[in-house]
Structure 1
Amino acid sequence: MASVADQRDKLDAEPVTTEAGYDAWKRAKIERGLEQSRDRSAMIPVDQVLRNLSLEG
């Protein structure tokens, strides 16, 4: 039977890194969101959002 120390030696000591493709996608998504937030005329009015979600009385 393998000891706990032997089992730990088998584990990868390198930290898990995110894929570069994911990082690029995430950055592009955030940049698109920031760009959209600058155009206030394209935003959905709060009243309409609440009405669509049926939160308004």
Structure 2
Amino acid sequence: MNPHHAIKQPGARLVFEVLAAEDPESLVTPHPARSPLSVLAALVADSTRDVDQVA
């Protein structure tokens, strides 16, 4: 079950549905700094935060 409200947190909700990550910030943690996956995870987390702020 998706813990994020569709209206208040659409970015976090989408990340949960697609990547099954309850906390978008947690995507960054398991990867070494400056690895391509770390950079991509940071972009996803930042984009999620931006979408949630606009909503």
Asked if TM exceeds 0.5, the reply is no
TM-score (norm 2): 0.38
* TM-score (norm: length of structure 1): 0.37
Q: Which has the higher contact order (CA 8 A, sep 6+)?
A: 2
Q: Which has the larger radius of gyration?
A: 1
